[in-house]
Amino acid sequence: MSLLTCAGRWLVVLVVLAAVPVLAAGRLLPAAARVALVRGCARALLRCAGVRPTITDLRDDAETGRGSGVLVVAPHVSWIDVLVLTAIAPSGFVARADLLGWGTLGTLARRMRVIPIERENLRELPEVVAGIRTRLQAGDRVTVFPEGTTWCGRAHGRFRAALFQAAVDAGCPVQPVRLRYLGRAGAVATAPAFVGDDTIGEAIRRMLRHRGTVADVVLAPLQPPGTDRRALAARCERAVRGEPGEMPVTVAAAAAGQRAVGDRPGTRYPGPVMTSPTAGTSGSPKTVYLDHAATTPMLPAAIEAMTQVFATVGNASSLHGSGRAARRRIEEARESIAADLGARPSEVLFVSGGTEGDNLAVKGIFWGRRAQDPRRNRVIASAVEHHAVLDAVEWLVEHENAEVTWLPVDADGRVDPQTLRAALSEHADDTALVTVMWANNEVGTVMPIPELAAVAAEFDVPMHSDAVQAVAHLPVDFAASGLSAMTVAAHKFGGPQGTGALLLGRQVPCVPLAHGGGHERDIRSGTQDTASIVGMAAALHAAVTDLDATTARLAALRDALVAGIEDVIPEAILNGPRGANRLPGNVHFTFPGCEGDSLLMLLDAAGIECSTGSACTAGVARASHVLIAMGADPRIARGSLRFSLGHTSTRADVDAVIAALPQVVERARAAGLASAAGRGGDGR
């Protein structure tokens, strides 16, 4: 067949296919006839392109007969993917928004009710998810390509979980589809790929030169939606890649009482809750990881963003093309972080993490304010700060002859704004800065930061807040808070370790700790880590986009863990407040008669990882300064544990802790009694 003849057939079939949505919209044909016509036209187009689809159906009869909405997910190689999938079963599609402007194809897409998505404007993603959910709830099939863009067919992109939320919300199953293109010799073919700067014309000509391509389609078993879109996306990605999973779960299996790995209770496919052997995220598959306040596993969005940068080279300070590209990536990340935290881009200074950010803020602002007015030699800080702030203040006292006023806290660990007002009233003329953390890293108390910042502003004193534990766990808006400076750390919200940011108002004086190349407004010199900065921005955006749903889920798990521990160990003491004034993922208990280190080691042996408090001071056999400031007995306070939940946590993790804790506490108490008897006294 000549190229001219084939091109003519393409034109004829495109005209026919363009008429199909018009007929469907006008209800001129019965539903079954419309479906048959669309499938027939798609198959005709494939024949003209020299593509022959083959289908392997791994679903059982119960799944193929379902009549509810279905989310179809497949790898994305080419625009031909749409034809292949339509030839199997017509579906709505989520497609790039600019497709709607592609002339006849755009008209066709609008007639087929394509759901447009702006790949570069992820703020519209919730609307896209809502549109998919509505279609699913109406019983429609909707196809998405979770890789986000086309790949060559031999390489693949990681599935992005956001669009899977529509299936979770609608309670609809997901149909994973394996799709690859094979050449005549049976090897994976890249000719159909539509990547880079390809045009439709070039893609069609390439397809015609490689006639005889086989579209190898495998319909994998349907996946139940569960309640965790990330677990759902991971299962579907394994199914699409043909990779073995930890426990393949189909809709039919779920209906028989099995639950998908990583899913939470409440799914429409009831079954026994899985316990710790598959719930963990650390090295051992039996580990329950509940130390997210120390560090949390990186989000796929951050890993993907960093991986793309690792393949590049360029110092952001260099003037050549590679340097300018690195600078552009950093500035785009700065703008993204600023938008997500309610700041201006120029207020975002990149640092190595929370400790450096706190030191730079406390020491730098102190020096800057004292240089402006030598009388300002005082720091006002809460008594429950992280040691990155406490030790920085103590250093100023020891080496700079600074004065310090420690703000007391109530029994829940909260600073009263009137307490700050009283301190500033007494020291209005000699205070350089105020520093109060946004949320406590040990007991999870959320401070009234806007109220405290307003009090500081009355006295024209800048206020800094360590917001390391708050960002991506609470709504944080730098501008609205009234703060002058704020510290964040990437690894607390799914970004890489070793990077963070100090948000610093433009008018706030800050003397640098280190001097060099004048980076970051000449306040923090040093070559920027481009990959980590990009990863931090990606993680933060992913985290704040899902903030409401994530915090609600974690708060429910937190409350379940608190109730469970109080039920099985009635004498346990909950430290910190209950409800909205506590971080959604924080649980902190004291177990009288126990040593925290003993509890920690016994739980670790049982496959449960938690902490005795701040990871930066772990291993020190003394009561937490936070608990002492809250009025706790130092001897009893030493028997405390912090369980911190995060984005990988499940109800199975909570149940595992509740089941293991009674025996652990009993053994820890026995060890404590034996130790006290051996010392012949009360152990003091």
**Residues with catalytic roles:** 616
45 CB neighbour count, 10 Å cutoff: 22
Alpha carbon separation from 504 to 328, 416, 466, 552 (Å, rounded): 21, 24, 12, 30
Query: In terms of Cα–Cα distance, which of 244, 261, 262 is closest to 253?
Result: 261
Is the Cα torsion angle 595, 598, 601, 603 positive or negative in sign? negative
Distance CA 656, CA 233 (A): 25
Distance CA 47, CA 573 (A): 71
Element of type H or E holding 529: none
Instruction: Give DSSP secondary structure letters for 20-79.
Output: HHHHHHTT-S-HHHHHHHHHHHHHHHHHHTTEEEEEEE---HHHHT--S-EEEE-----T
Distance CA 550, CA 306 (A): 23
581 CB neighbour count, 10 Å cutoff: 16
Alpha carbon separation from 178 to 46, 151, 175, 357 (Å, rounded): 18, 14, 10, 47
Bridge partners of 573, per DSSP, are: 590
The answer to whether 493 and 542 are in contact (CB under 8 A) is no
Instruction: Give DSSP secondary structure letters for 127-141.
Output: HHHHHHHHHHHTT-E
383 CB neighbour count, 10 Å cutoff: 16
Instruction: Give DSSP secondary structure letters for 178-235.
Output: EEEEE-TTSSBP-TT---TT--HHHHHHHHHHTTTEEEEEEEPPPB---S-HHHHHHH
Judged by DSSP in three states, 576 sits in coil
User: What tokens appear for 658 in the block?
Assistant: 């509740």
The answer to whether 151 and 75 are in contact (CB under 8 A) is yes
Element of type H or E holding 491: none
130 CB contacts (<8 Å, ≥6 apart)? 166
The answer to whether 574 and 460 are in contact (CB under 8 A) is no
E strands along 309-409, which residues?
A: 348-351, 378-382, 403-407
Percent of residues in the chain assigned helix, strand, coil, to nearest 5: 45, 15, 40
User: What tokens appear for 273 in the block?
Assistant: 């809750």
Query: In terms of Cα–Cα distance, which of 684, 589, 570 is closest to 644?
Result: 589
DSSP type of residue 633: -
